[in-house]
Amino acid sequence: MRTHILSAIALMILAGPALAQGDAAKGEKEFGKCKACHAIVADDGTVIMKGTKTGPNLYGVMGRQAGTVEGFKYGPGLREAGEMGLVWTTETLVKYVEDPSKFIKEFTNDDKAKSAMAFKLKKGVEDIAAYLESVGPAPDGASAPADAPAAADETAAE
């Protein structure tokens, strides 16, 4: 009996992080708020989610060092945060999107630092992070999840 209780407790502890993760399907819908500035385009040019180029391409953003999309001109605050080790995780993305400039000031410990991103989102960021992770590249040789949303047809997205 004691073994069953300990097993149940261990299962709850291990499942805790998984339960805290967002819902990729909801995140795909929520990403509509992000399309005004961001697109998701795979390295091979496949358009996953059409958007604008005001902000950087968000393909592969989860797990990536901040401020490192080649060819995108980041503001000094975000570049500095990236140089200081900021990596996009669900936790950092949630905190950043809630108030980008406040996050950059706190992360860099520089009251003058700011983010070029003015948009703030208080709810649904965990879901957007789950969506971004689901459409991003598979981690180090792993195959993409079977339930990952399919990429949009390029001709339909243009």
131-150: pLDDT as tens digits: 999 999 987 655 444 444 44
Q: Which residue has the higher pLDDT, 10 or 96?
A: 96
11-48: pLDDT as tens digits: 334 433 443 489 999 999 999 999 999 999 999 999 99
Rounded to 10°, the helix 90-98/125-135 angle is 130
Instruction: Determine the pLDDT at residue 15.
Output: 38
- 1-5, 91-95, 104-108: least confident range: 1-5
Q: Mind listing the domains of the chain with CATH numbers?
A: 22-157 (1.10.760.10)
Closest CA to 77 of 99, 95, 100, 58: 100
From residue 68, give the alpha-carbon distance in Å to each of 57, 63, 79, 86, 91. Answer: 11, 12, 8, 11, 19
Q: What percent of the chain has pLDDT over 70?
A: 75
pLDDT at 7 over 90: no
Provide CB contacts within 8 A for 124, sequence distance 6+: 22, 26, 27, 30
